[in-house]
Amino acid sequence: MNIGIIGLGLMGGSLGLALKKLPHKYTIIGYDHNNQHQHDALSLHLVDKLAENFDEIKHCDVIILTIPVDAIIKTAQTLTNVHKNCTIIDFGSSKSKIDDAIPPTIRKNFVTAHPMTGTEKCGPAAAIDELYNEKVMVVCNQEKSGTLQNRIALELFRDINANVVFMGAKEHDLHAAFISHMPHTVSYALANSVMKQEDPESIIALAGGGFKSMSRIAKSSPSMWEDIFRQNKQNLLKSMNAFNKEMQLCQQMIENDEWDKLHQWMIDANKLHDIL
């Protein structure tokens, strides 16, 4: 089975590595608008070969879009002439607008998915062969995909040892805003609040594991996350409002010396890890 991967950074490169463990089953063909990424992906053995042009990708049995969410929408418009049995899978981090933008003539070809995994790093050199191992793979609006396409996608997800979860695109976007998108805004805000101090270097010199953990994802690609924030704007604002209320509550308790109340508030927060 020929697998065409569009986008050879962290997500696409890691997928290539995972699928290359089954050489008898899959041939990985890579494509990226960045020529250096293509060269690096080939030299790092993330793919078996590079597509000579985009039309070669269109003839693959499976096409996987591991590119920013706005680019997924644009690329989907160019895939209307794929074979009726082609399976197209997108790995976008927000789903509703992608789902709405897929041309109706190829909607059955599409399986809209979101792997709940990643790192703050990017590019082919960031690829990890175990990135998807035992990580959640959300499949949205499964009923809109063809029977063949669902079967092929789910088999591929099993082959990379992902844990598949099904839900609607709107439901996904709300949940993703709280557990993924809003935390990125917090990390960016934390980084900027430190950098705007008079002597940020002295502050960073004292930074321990807690600060480094919370600020780590502020290293993530601004271009990618701008797209995600734009596409999931309303859900993101809802999650940010909820977070800001908790921050205001914390500030008020500290200002008013309500230490017992603050202590209970932190105990309540500890309960999150009972379900993680």
Q: Find all residues with CB under 8 Å of 164, minimum gap 6, and list them.
A: 136, 137, 138, 139, 154, 157, 158
CATH superfamily of 2-167: NAD(P)-binding Rossmann-like Domain (3.40.50.720)
- The pLDDT-based confidence of 167 (bands split at 50, 70, 90) is very high
What's the mean pLDDT in 232-245?
A: 97
| Pick from 145-149, 170-174, 212-216, 227-231: least confident | 212-216
Distance of alpha carbon 228 from alpha carbon 247, whole angstroms = 24
pLDDT of residue 40: 95
Whether 257 has a pLDDT exceeding 90, the answer reads yes
Phi and psi at residue 135, to the nearest 5°? -100, 155
Burial of 197-227, coded b for 16+ CB within 10 Å and e otherwise, reads: eeeeeeeeeeeeeeeeeebebbebbeebbeb
Q: Is 30 exposed, middle or buried (0-12, 13-18, 19+ CB in 10 A)?
A: buried
pLDDT of residue 84: 96
Radius of gyration of the chain (CA): 21
Q: Find all residues with CB under 8 Å of 46, minimum gap 6, and list them.
A: 8, 12, 13, 16, 17, 20, 28, 30, 124, 127
pLDDT of residue 11: 96
User: Do the Cβ atoms of 37 and 8 come closer than 8 Å?
Assistant: yes
What are the residue ranges of CATH 3.40.50.720 in the chain?
A: 2-167
pLDDT digits (tens, 9 = 90+) for 175-227: 999 999 999 999 999 999 988 887 878 877 787 788 888 889 999 989 889 99
pLDDT digits (tens, 9 = 90+) for 78-91: 999 999 999 999 99
What's the mean pLDDT in 251-272?
A: 96
Distance of alpha carbon 66 from alpha carbon 165, whole angstroms = 19
Nearest CA to 164 out of 208, 132, 127, 203 is that of: 132
Could you tell me which CATH class the domain 172-275 is placed in? mainly alpha
pTM (global) more than 0.75: yes
pLDDT of residue 115: 96
Report strand pairing: 110-115 vs 136-140: antiparallel
What are the residue ranges of CATH 1.10.3660.10 in the chain?
A: 172-275
- The helix (run of H) or strand (run of E) holding residue 136 is strand 136-140
Distance of alpha carbon 101 from alpha carbon 56, whole angstroms = 23
pLDDT of residue 34: 92
